[in-house]
Amino acid sequence: MKRLLSHPSLVIGLVATLLFLALGLLSLVWTPYPIAQIDIPRRFLAPSAAHWLGTDNLGRDMMSLVMAGTWTSFLVAAVAVAIGVGVGVPLGLAAAAWGGAVEWVVLRLTDFVFAFPAVIAAILITTLVGPGAVNAIVAIGIFNIPVFARVARGGALSIATLDFVAAGRLAGLGNTLIAWRHLLPNVMSLIIVQGTIQMSLGILSEAGLSYIGLGTQPPETSLGLMLKDAQGVFLIHPWLTLVPGLAIVLIVIALNIAGDGLRDAIDPRLRQGNPNVLA
């Protein structure tokens, strides 16, 4: 723990991330105003003591919306990461442990899923079942699967040839146990680092999907949905665009800094960049 805390970027990124997360969590039990409370006479108010971030085009309190929206963003991105880890990591480990045909199938499968950027997946899902936050989760989650499968396989391959794995095999462990006892613990750090990267990408994707109407729907709110609501009036009231946009940027920067710090702290050898920074 002390070793982890000696990395300033990790501490800064983590603290900032946790602050936003706390703000989001708080919105579950308390927001300054109910987020669905429409109050047309009080719309487009500048920031004041009563409304810290002012009010939007429907007179809703921007602070409350940002808090609730932050929670949605975290939730969507986190569940999408969970889907990616839950399906992708076993696939990647299986590919490394079994090799041969299993590996071929997993690789082709990941290639295939890469052909479906989250937007395209979301388009198909929305056509099928209509828009909603769950769509965004599934669409981003599907896209996360090959990412984690590749990371897990890559990490596991470099370990699979080491002596302790061979010793495990001699001791009679099957592929499943090898993957579970030896490969998984050793790729955990890679997965955690990739997890923070996918978290930040997930938050950006959720914003994009909600902005074009394929994600979160009212009366729920998200930072992307706030930007969608502001679209019609942003030339006259730029404030409504600046607030949720800046919130997204700050959260993503916090997560990225935490991720970079985590990577340096866990494994200094990984410091040389990561190609998986694609949006």
Q: What angle do CA 116, 121, 127 make, to 5 degrees?
A: 145
Nearer to another protein, 207 or 265 (CB): 207
Nearer to another protein, 86 or 238 (CB): 238
For residues 21 and 45, the answer to whether their CB atoms sit within 8 Å is no
Contacts with another protein, residue ranges (CB under 8 A): 107-108, 111-112, 114-120, 123-124, 126-128, 200, 204, 207-208, 211-213, 224, 227, 231, 234-235, 238, 241, 245, 248-249, 252-253, 256-257, 272-273, 275, 277-279
Minimum Å gap between C-beta 104 and another protein is: 8
Nearer to another protein, 15 or 124 (CB): 124
Distance CA 184, CA 81 (A): 17
Nearer to another protein, 44 or 234 (CB): 234
Nearer to another protein, 174 or 232 (CB): 232
Q: Phi and psi (nearest 5°) for 55? A: -125, 160
240 membership: H or E segment, kind and range: helix 239-266
Minimum Å gap between C-beta 250 and another protein is: 8
Distance CA 13, CA 62 (A): 25
Cα dihedral 108→112→117→121 (10° resolution): -130
Does 219 sit behind a cis peptide bond, omega within 30 degrees of 0 on the bond before it? yes
Nearer to another protein, 1 or 278 (CB): 278
Distance CA 132, CA 210 (A): 8
Minimum Å gap between C-beta 39 and another protein is: 25
Q: Please state whether 174 falls in left (phi above 0), alpha (psi between -120 and 50) or beta.
A: beta
End-to-end Cα distance, the chain:
31
